Amino acid sequence: MKKVLFFFVSLAIGTGLLVWIIRAIGWEEIALAFRFFSPAAGATILFLTILANLVRSWRWRTILKSQGYSIPVLRILEYYLSGSALGFFVPMFLFGGEIIRGYDLKEKYAVPWPKSIASVIIDRISEFTLYALATILGIAFFIAQANLPSYKIGITIFAVFLLIIASISFFYFKSFKKESIIRFFIQKFNAKNSNGADTAIEVEREIFRYFKPKKKIMWQGFGLSFLLELVLLARTYLLILFLAKPASIFSAVAIVAFSSLALVLPIPAALGSHEAVQSFVFTALGLGAGTGAAFVLVIRGAELIAALIGSFFFFKFGLRLLESLLLKKIGQLFKNGNNK
């Protein structure tokens, strides 16, 4: 019930923020940004969005292959899109998409639960690491190029910069030294005998087995994450050009960085929050708030199409899950009846 309430509250906040941003900028200025945007440009952005999801799916497939499971990439893409759809529409269900992906693997390919969940978390860590490095570069380029209205904004952005560095450093320091993070929290909260503690530790072991500097597979995952960043950077750069604005690689890197930060907020489809962030960024870079809002509308449209495709797979898997649970329940009833 709390999750549902939070969904509607966050949706209302995002909608209110979107209306406020549009009124502040004006529909005329946003429409003006689209004057040179063509159907071919829209198709290009959609293609790059789909390509980004294919790269993500291929990376996840390599992780599973390192665990001994060879699964067709198109099937992996279905699972990836289904989980991403949940994250796109209801981001407040923290790790909900990851759990769905892990469960599908467990049911369809008999991948043990610790390995399936570990593969999903490894995939996220690989992506987050390159996201974080790109965000650090993007923030640095933004501070160097932007015309900031206040030094306090620069200090806040720099603080985010340091937090990202600290988070990455902490994880890899613990991982390379094979020092359990999970055990620390289990001891801290006295959860040694709680349900799932052993599974969590096993998942962590799988993650540590993957993240070893001498293992080729780890660098392959980082390589695919880097390729993903290049695809997202190309999408951003081309979209700025399609909106008839002068683009530089440095500006595109900054915009990609702030897109990542905007998507952290638990608002469905980053409604309102993404427009607010990019309107500020585009204004500071001299590209115009209307162009920033138009940029987000195009990106959201492309990602919405991908999320709708993922929703089809999500409901297909959901029906399969419901059927599986019903069959197990019926089987249990028969078993109990025969034992009487």
Against a cut of 0.85, is the pTM above it? no
Number of compact structural domains in the chain = 1
Q: Nearest to residue 67, comparing CAs of 102, 108, 118?
A: 118
Angle at 20 between CA 18 and CA 26, to 5 degrees: 95
Residue 92 vs residues 9, 137, 314: alpha-carbon distances, Å: 11, 28, 17
| Per-residue pLDDT in tens (0 to 9) along the chain, 340 residues | 565 666 667 767 777 777 888 787 878 888 888 888 889 999 999 999 999 999 999 999 999 998 888 888 888 888 888 877 777 776 655 455 667 777 777 777 778 888 888 888 888 888 888 888 887 788 778 877 766 666 666 667 667 667 767 777 777 776 676 666 666 566 665 655 555 667 777 888 888 888 888 888 889 999 999 999 999 999 999 999 998 888 788 888 888 888 877 776 667 667 777 888 888 888 888 888 888 888 988 998 898 898 888 888 877 766 666 555 554 554 454 455 455 5
- For residues 111-133, b (16+ Cβ closer than 10 Å) or e, as one string? beebbbbbbbbbbebbbbbbbbb
* Residue 269 DSSP one-character state: G
The residue type of 197 is A
Q: What is the residue range of 322's domain?
A: 2-339
